[in-house]
Amino acid sequence: SSSSGDESLRDRRARIQSRGLPKQKPIEGVKQVVVLASGKGGVGKSTTAVNIALALAANDSTKEVGLLDADIYGPSIPKMMNLKGNPELTPKNLMRPLKNYGIACMSMGFLIEETAPVVWRGLMVMSAVEKLLRQVDWGQLDYLVIDMPPGTGDVQLSVSQNIPIAGAVIISTPQDVALLDARKGAEMFRKVHVPVLGLVQNMSVFQCPKCKHETHIFGADGVRDLAKTLELDILGDIPLHVNIRESCDSGQPVVIAQPQSDA
């Protein structure tokens, strides 16, 4: 029948396409990899990644957690985690992650000067990502949280296709422009067979510190509506609060600085 013919054609296409894909190889010593992504920049993805890594460790002190900054052009994890310096090398020539608050961290920011721009073409970026994935001695980690760069380009595809990923978390503000890109990010992970664990709505509401009036600066419930459309879970709402910004800028993320706060 024509339907069975179509099915065999699809299977054949899938087999041919899979030949060109790299074989997924786990990162040595790492049990679970969770990637944090956003289609659009400036939605608080790195801030959320840092606090999720710290929260995983805080929720269960028996778990070892690592944080990988895969944003080659704009690494922000060193500042947020209050880390400076170059990683030491092991006898096997692997880089040792820098550690703070019990979290092992690796970032391009440790390998270049703080003010130096990364003016590289795609191949050099991919080589750097490969080194950050494969040439780091993570020890034994229960969770590795990867802070992805914004977009759906080479880095996202390379990470998704080279290592087994337990799940992806999509960060977005409720703004329509951000939601368009967040949807693309979610669809990209589905295409490369990475489970999307859910969406986080960031900067969801602003409360005036004086009169306590609440304002939805970026719109209300946009991410919730997108989650319904994509049949995904909402993992949480994060308010637009000065403490979240100030704590990350000072290198003491809000999970460390104010663990009992609403944020």
Write down the mean pLDDT value for the chain. 88
Buried b (16+ CB within 10 A) or exposed e, 15-35: eeeeeeeeeeeebeebebbbb
> pTM for the complete prediction?
0.85
Rounded Cα gap, residues 147 and 107, in angstroms: 10
What are the pLDDT digits (tens) for 66-88?
999 998 888 899 999 999 989 99
For tokens 């978390």, what's the residue? 169
Rounded Cα gap, residues 261 and 263, in angstroms: 5
Rounded Cα gap, residues 101 and 193, in angstroms: 33
Rounded Cα gap, residues 92 and 71, in angstroms: 26
26-257: CATH topology: Rossmann fold (3.40.50)
What are the pLDDT digits (tens) for 198-238?
999 989 888 888 888 888 888 888 888 898 998 999 999 98
